[in-house]
Amino acid sequence: MCSHLFYDLDSCSRLWILSFLKVFLFFLLERIIRHGPVFTQEPSDSVFPLSAEDNKIFINCKAKGSPAPHYKWKFNRTDLDIDMDYSLVEGNLLINNPQATKHGGVYQCIATNAFGTILSREAKVEFAYLQNFSSKARSPVLVREGQAVVLLCGPPPHFGEIRYSWIFNGRPSIVVGDNRRFVSQRTGNLYIAKVETSDVGNYTCVVRNVMTNTTVYSSPTPVVLRRDGQYLAEIQLFENLRVQKKSKY
């Protein structure tokens, strides 16, 4: 009866019904037939800015499977205890009060159901930060008029993109780069060519972390002009000592 009905249809309609049934069965079976987990979202490498307001971060992970998978995580290749610092929100890992030294490292998600266990790729998690400069005083830099001088910035420990600038004789006077002055964005050092008397003063290196939007200031480096007179006086002294030594022996 049924088969008669089916064969009464023209071949085009039959083909259409068959392919429809195939697709329908495929979706039905996938839902009904139990299968091991498969990732739909794996954790990815990330850099998180560390700032006072932002005290929670998520690392994402999601898998499909039947029955629904449950999740665990690995940190630096060892199983992670879900404790005060961590919680699970579905597959996602939530880190409370993240700290660079405690929570920076490699994370992996594990999804398990009765039919299997899968381990995700390794996701490198890093934190952008910028420490303070040492408050130690910086020694004066002596330079003769017309000469060039390099002032070293020596940035404090940091991670994430940073920008350098310099302040002259206290805020808000920023050293503007021109044909004599240049701030290296690689080292932070300030180069001054053909020093003039107006260059004499205190220079402070300013470092800003773009990701955390934090700024730190070095202690000032005084730039002092070394007068030729002073230099001559030193030669004089040196000559005098030599003369004295000669006359002694």
Ligand X SMILES: *[C@@H]1O[C@H](CO)[C@@H](O)[C@H](O)[C@H]1NC(C)=O
Of 91 and 220, CB closest to ligand X: 220
Task: State yes or no: residue 219 binds ligand X (CB under 6 A).
Answer: no
Task: State yes or no: residue 99 binds ligand X (CB under 6 A).
Answer: no
Q: How far is the CB of 239 from ligand X (least distance, A)?
A: 33
Instruction: Tell me, letter by letter, the H, E, C secondary structure of 87-126.
Output: EEECCEEEEECCCHHHHCEEEEEEEEECCEEEECCCEEEE
Residue 12: DSSP 8-state: H
Nearest to 63 by CA among 83, 90, 100, 28: 90
Task: State yes or no: residue 173 binds ligand X (CB under 6 A).
Answer: no
Tokens of 186: 């690689």
Of 36 and 222, CB closest to ligand X: 222
Task: State yes or no: residue 97 binds ligand X (CB under 6 A).
Answer: no
Q: How far is the CB of 206 from ligand X (least distance, A)?
A: 12
Task: State yes or no: residue 105 binds ligand X (CB under 6 A).
Answer: yes
CA distance 63 to 223: 62
Of 87 and 169, CB closest to ligand X: 169
Task: State yes or no: residue 36 binds ligand X (CB under 6 A).
Answer: no
Task: State yes or no: residue 240 binds ligand X (CB under 6 A).
Answer: no
> Which helix (H) or strand (E) element contains residue 234?
helix 228-248
Task: State yes or no: residue 49 binds ligand X (CB under 6 A).
Answer: no
